[in-house]
Amino acid sequence: MNWRMPSETDPQDRVWMAFPPSGYLLGESAEDADEARSTWSRVAHAVLDFEPVTMLVDPKDREIAARYLSGEVEIVYAPLNDAWMRDIGPSFVLDESGTELGGVDWVFNGWGQQNWASWEFDARIGAEVARSAGAQLLPSSLVQEGGGINVDGLGTVLLTETVQRDPFRNPGISRAAVEAELAQKIGSSNAIWLPRGLTRDSQRFGTRGHVDIVASIPSPGVMLVHSQRNNAHPDHAITQALIAGLRDTHDAAGNSWRIVEVPAPAVLKDAEGWVDYSYINHLAVNGAVIACAFDDPADDASRGLLQDAYPGRAIVQLDARPLFARGGGIHCITQQQPSVRRQG
């Protein structure tokens, strides 16, 4: 059977998330824990205005999750190490007819065996979610995360050398081997390799270069790319080089991209150093885009760019600073399940 990962803008049946379990996401105080749980829940309830949400909850958190989540959120109980559903969950695909749902279960090893990560439970979540969704389970031998790829649904996949070819994920693997596995599992035929990701994401508590804070494809032939305009930030040189390289690439039909540069927020640092705040890390849902805001002068401009990129969809901005402080954004904590074509 031939499988295809559809565009994130295609119709969806639901969005999957995970409620933050005990661990570093909850911080060191009751206020930190409340901030994390409230932020994840706020994203879930924003999505609920447009489509169903299913939340994985660690059984130990049954009672506390009930205090944060409305009864409209469907709950599935499963042990968790973390709550980055984009990375620990499956990548959903459809068959050629669009009538069968598959769930690609990538190997998850804590973003390349990071010494701060635990993954004995999270490594099972891809299969658990696929089964709960009624999807055909499609195991893969490739170590990677959902945040490490972005597709246009027409054959193009965006990748990063420092993720798929990370020696702590897939030691010694070639581009050809990665591309062959992706062709089989998600139907890609046109791989675009970014050399690296953003500065903070390349440091100790990052993913080593996830593409979903760097570039995304909102519609055929259009690419949104993160652009750091302030040359005091190390990402200025990085994003200029990435944009220049992407201008030399093409889609699966051989057409050049229309590159839309999305300026980074004005803020450059937080208490931990250079930020990687990015408006690229948004979630398209039925009729809307759930987007990051940072209480920043650039929020309004990003809203306009997203509105242009997703005409006819509501743009819902949520404060993403508590997410980025913990290592990700709105796209990172969500995973969309595409709609299947109903037969008969």
The pLDDT score that the predictor gives to residue 344 is: 56
The pLDDT score that the predictor gives to residue 44 is: 99
The strand pair at 258-263 and 74-77 is best described as unpaired
The pLDDT score that the predictor gives to residue 230 is: 98
- The reply to whether 64 falls in a domain is yes
Residue 342: band (very low, low, confident or very high) from pLDDT cuts 50, 70, 90 = confident
Residue 281: band (very low, low, confident or very high) from pLDDT cuts 50, 70, 90 = very high
Q: What is the pLDDT of residues 82-99, one digit of tens each?
A: 999 999 999 999 999 999
Q: What is the pLDDT of residues 285-322, one digit of tens each?
A: 999 999 999 999 999 999 999 999 999 999 999 999 99
Tell me how far apart the alpha carbons of residues 20 and 296 are, in angstroms, rounded to a whole number. 26
Q: What is the CA radius of gyration of the chain?
A: 18
Q: What is the C-alpha end-to-end distance of the chain, expressed in Å?
A: 21
What integer is the mean pLDDT of 165-179?
98
What integer is the mean pLDDT of 104-121?
97
- The reply to whether 343 falls in a domain is no
- The reply to whether 208 falls in a domain is yes
Total domains, the chain: 1
Tell me how far apart the alpha carbons of residues 275 and 273 are, in angstroms, rounded to a whole number. 6
**Nearest of 143, 253, 247 to residue 189 by alpha carbon:** 253
Tell me how far apart the alpha carbons of residues 239 and 263 are, in angstroms, rounded to a whole number. 10
Cβ 91 vs Cβ 5: under 8 Å? yes
Domain encompassing residue 217: 3-338
Per the structure block, which two tokens stand in for 211?
């593409």
Residues written for the chain: 344
Rounded to the nearest 5°, which phi and psi values hold at 41?
A: -70, -35
- The reply to whether 133 falls in a domain is yes
The pLDDT score that the predictor gives to residue 343 is: 65
Is 292 noted as a catalytic residue in this protein?
no
Q: List 138's β-bridge partners, or say none.
A: 104
**Residue of 330, 332, 333, 340 marked active site:** 332
What integer is the mean pLDDT of 176-201?
98
Q: What is the pLDDT of residues 20-71, one digit of tens each?
A: 999 999 999 999 999 999 999 999 999 999 999 999 999 999 999 999 999 9
- The CA distances from residue 58 to 67, 83, 335, in Å, are 14, 10, 18
Whichever domain contains 283, its CATH number is: 3.75.10.10
